[in-house]
Amino acid sequence: MLMKIGEIDSLGEIVEAVNMITDYVNSNPLALKLVRDQDHNHGLLDMAVLSSEFEFFMPYLTVESIFRAKDELAAMFASSSDWNKEEEDIAISNLVNDSGLWETVERVLKCSSPLIHGLIWLSSANNNQHVGHVYDNMDVIKESIAREFDNDELCYMPLWDVIDDVWNKLHSPLHAAGYFLNPDAFYSTGFHLDAEVAIGLISSLVHIVKELDVQVKVATQLDVYKVREGCFSEASQADQVSGLSPAEWWAEKASPHPELQSFAIKILSQTCEGASRYNLKRNLAEKLLLTRGMSRCEKQHLEELAFVHYNLHLQSCRAKLSEEQ
């Protein structure tokens, strides 16, 4: 998703220029302090260094950090001729004062920052039960991008199309059901029940709950949940929802409706960390995102190779689990 968004502008050239500034900053204590003072991403950069999951975000977070400090860096170079003695000083000063560069950087950040910060929030340790948040978070990301471009459809719709193209291949009925069963989302003023959410909820119910009589009980109890009756009257209040994960909320608040409670907890306890759980390497999957310039045969061969590789790995994991049991 980020790769496709990065293709909209000359991200590679931007990263190269910003890396030159970053190397210079890291070798100058005063410049480094200026950047750190303006850097709202310092913790995220440390996280990206420590976690391979966030490694792909590093160039964007670095660009954002330098962008925040551009005025302070420009003032530093203007403050004394000592900052313009060496050839490297002059080259970096020219970059820092290049308004065209920063205009392009700002445009890229408008595209990428809402997506990056949304994905990092979703992947953070405090939100490791993802299914209740994914669906709503993707909508929040898209709306944030639209606001960055003052709701100008000509600017933000190409980005929405990129996000939708990837999201349509990744989302499942569980994401829609998780959105419906997440009380923080469902009882908010921004909740939107459309056909996709309703179908996802029904599909998940049919697949997870096999007994027809239990399905009927869950459906009946869902009506109580929707209109905030019974135990949900008090439990739906904001102070009762905050501070609990969606699965914890159902475990604590919904005991009068055990069938619905069990169904909701099964869905909301899911994560999106299958790759980490089964130690699947990302490098082959990432190559599938870099197929521009490949022939159809080459692309198909890579897809088949990835399919066989990952399924063999999963079969091996399954065999080991069976042996342990």
Per-residue pLDDT reduced to its tens digit, 100-110: 999 988 888 88
pLDDT at 113: 86
Query: Among the three residues 252, 272, 292, which one is the final residue of a domain in this structure?
Result: 272
Last residue of a domain, one of 82, 104, 126: 126
Residues 109 and 179 in one domain: no
Residues 189 and 304 placed together within one structural domain of the fold: no
Residue with the two structure tokens 């042996």: 323
Whole-number pLDDT of residue 195: 93
Q: Kindly state whether residues 268 and 132 are assigned to the same domain.
A: yes
Whether residue 116 is found in the same domain as residue 163: no
Distance, in Å, from the CA atom of 276 to the CA atom of 67, rounded to the nearest integer, reads: 33
Count the domains in the chain: 3
How many other C-beta atoms are found inside a 10 Å radius of the C-beta of residue 113?
Answer: 20
231 and 303 co-located in one domain = no
Kindly state whether residues 298 and 247 are assigned to the same domain.
Answer: no
Task: Read off the pLDDT of residues 226-258 as tens digits, 9 standing for 90 and up.
Answer: 999 999 999 999 889 988 889 999 999 999 999
Does 251 lie in the same domain as 137?
yes
Of 170, 85, 96, 109, residue with least CA distance to 135: 170
103 and 162 housed in the same domain: no
Q: Are 301 and 287 in contact (CB under 8 A)?
A: no
Tens-digit pLDDT profile for residues 70-88: 898 898 888 877 777 788 8
Sign (positive/negative) of CA torsion 158, 14, 143, 128?
Answer: positive
Asked if residues 262 and 214 have their Cβ atoms less than 8 Å apart, the reply is no
pLDDT of residue 50: 42
With a threshold of 0.85, does the pTM exceed it?
A: no
Note the residue count of the chain. 325
Domain endpoint, select from 126, 154, 176: 126
Rg of the chain over all Cα atoms, to the nearest angstrom? 24
**Residue of 284, 187, 308, 190 lying closest to 237 (CA atoms):** 187
| Residue 146 and residue 231 share a domain | yes
- Please indicate, yes or no, whether residues 268 and 143 belong to a single structural domain of this protein: yes
Distance in angstroms (rounded) separating the CA atoms of residues 240 and 138: 25
- Residues in the chain predicted with pLDDT less than 70, given as ranges, are 1-12, 39-56, 123-129, 272-293, 309-311, 313-314, 317-325
Domain that holds residue 101: 2-126
Q: Are residues 238 and 301 in the same domain?
A: no
C-alpha triplet 129, 125, 48: angle, nearest 5°? 130
